[in-house]
């Protein structure tokens, strides 16, 4: 059985004090949670303070929303993987569609970041996903294949133990539109098959694939009921403690 992951990507929201308050509320909501990993990704400015505020038992883990592919140097405005570890992070989100679409990040750069993050001891949440045009023009599977294969290029099966995939259809991020449970399952099943081809079946059966794209309390149960959906990467709903708590406490019972 793959342990589900519910991760909250706060994007460019929350001051330091607001982030600490929300993190504390999320932590409180996990007190009776069992069998689910919870990860939150505040903005860079709040990481170290949130790390100090989280309980030491690790029931809420800390992620950064991005990193650079070099350890140090003249890279104004960038953050090295080791700096994230020093701030208390265990994970980093890489390849988010907003990084690809707004900042022009290529598969090759995301792959370099993935290697750098893993080398620094971080676990990677690698995001992939197609745009509406790519889906409607029949290129969805081609795009997912390229993003997956190039993003994971050069990784060993052992390193894949430290990688989580997040499928985020770009047309569903922040739009209120959500892929249907069947659409999510189709994409997740395809990606799991790709990983089996890139590595082997045991690796593909262990890797966790999260769904992201307007995940909300009223749709999480149907998504999580799918065989190949192993969790959620939550955007807007992770900014509200009550909504995120409901998502963490998803139910797959009929």
Which residues neighbour 43 within 8 Å (Cβ) at sequence distance 6 or greater? 10, 11, 12, 13, 14, 19, 65
pLDDT digit string, tens, across residues 189-242: 999 999 999 999 999 999 999 999 889 999 999 999 999 999 999 999 999 999
Q: Which residues pair with 165 in a beta bridge?
A: 126, 209
Alpha-carbon 72 to chain mean position: 25
- The three-state secondary structure class of 138 is coil
Number of other residues whose CB lies within 10 A of the CB of residue 40: 25
Provide Rg for the chain, Cα atoms: 17
Q: Which residues pair with 6 in a beta bridge?
A: 38, 232
Q: Where are the domains of the chain?
A: 5-248
Give the helix/strand (H/E) hosting 5: strand 5-9
Q: Residue 25: exposed, middle, or buried by beta-carbon count in 10 A (0-12, 13-18, 19+)?
A: middle
d(CA 172, CA 108): 24
Average pLDDT, the chain: 96
Query: Would you state the torsion angle of the CA atoms of residues 43, 49, 50, 55, taken in this order, to the nearest 10 degrees?
Result: 160
- As a whole number of angstroms, the distance between CA 116 and CA 122 comes to 9
Active-site positions read: 96, 168
Q: Compute the distance between CA of residue 91 and CA of residue 98 in angstroms, rounded to an integer.
A: 18
Give the predicted TM-score (pTM) of the model: 0.96
Q: Does pLDDT of 254 surpass 80?
A: no
Q: How long, in residues, is the chain?
A: 254
Please give the pLDDT value at position 253: 62
Distance CA 129, CA 155 (A): 20
Segment 59-69, tens digit of pLDDT = 999 999 999 99
Fold of 5-248: TIM Barrel (3.20.20)
Q: What is the pLDDT of residues 86-144, one digit of tens each?
A: 999 999 999 999 999 999 999 999 999 999 999 999 999 999 999 989 998 999 999 99
Distance between CA atoms of residues 179 and 40, nearest Å:
23
> Tokens 């099943």 sit at which residue?
189
H or E segment and range at residue 241: helix 241-248
Residue pair 208/3 in contact (Cβ under 8 Å)? The answer is yes
Q: Which two tokens stand for residue 151?
A: 């993003």
């Amino acid at each position: 059985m793959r342990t589900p992951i519910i991760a909250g990507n706060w994007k460019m929201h929350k001051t330091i004090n607001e982030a600490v308050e929300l993190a504390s509320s999320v932590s409180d909501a996990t007190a009776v949670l069992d069998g689910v990993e919870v990860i939150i990704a505040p903005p860079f400015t709040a990481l170290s303070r949130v790390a100090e505020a989280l309980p030491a038992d690790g029931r809420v883990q800390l992620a950064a929303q991005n990193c650079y592919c070099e350890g140090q140097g003249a890279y104004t405005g960038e953050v090295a993987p080791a700096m994230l570890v020093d701030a208390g992070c265990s994970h980093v989100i890489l390849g988010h569609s907003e990084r690809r679409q707004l900042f022009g990040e290529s598969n090759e750069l995301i792959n370099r970041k993935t290697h750098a993050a893993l080398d620094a001891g971080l676990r990677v949440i690698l995001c992939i996903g197609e745009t509406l045009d790519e889906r409607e023009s029949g290129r969805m599977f081609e795009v997912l294949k390229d993003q997956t294969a190039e993003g994971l290029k050069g990784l060993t099966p052992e390193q894949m133990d430290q990688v989580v995939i997040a499928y985020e259809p770009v047309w569903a991020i922040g739009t209120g539109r959500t892929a249907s449970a069947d659409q999510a399952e189709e994409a997740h099943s395809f990606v799991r098959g790709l990983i089996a081809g890139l590595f082997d079946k045991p690796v593909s059966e262990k890797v966790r694939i999260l769904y992201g794209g307007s995940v909300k309390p009223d749709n999480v149960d149907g998504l999580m009921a799918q065989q190949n959906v192993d969790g959620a990467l939550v955007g807007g709903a992770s900014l509200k403690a009550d909504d995120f708590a409901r998502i963490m406490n998803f139910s797959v019972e009929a």
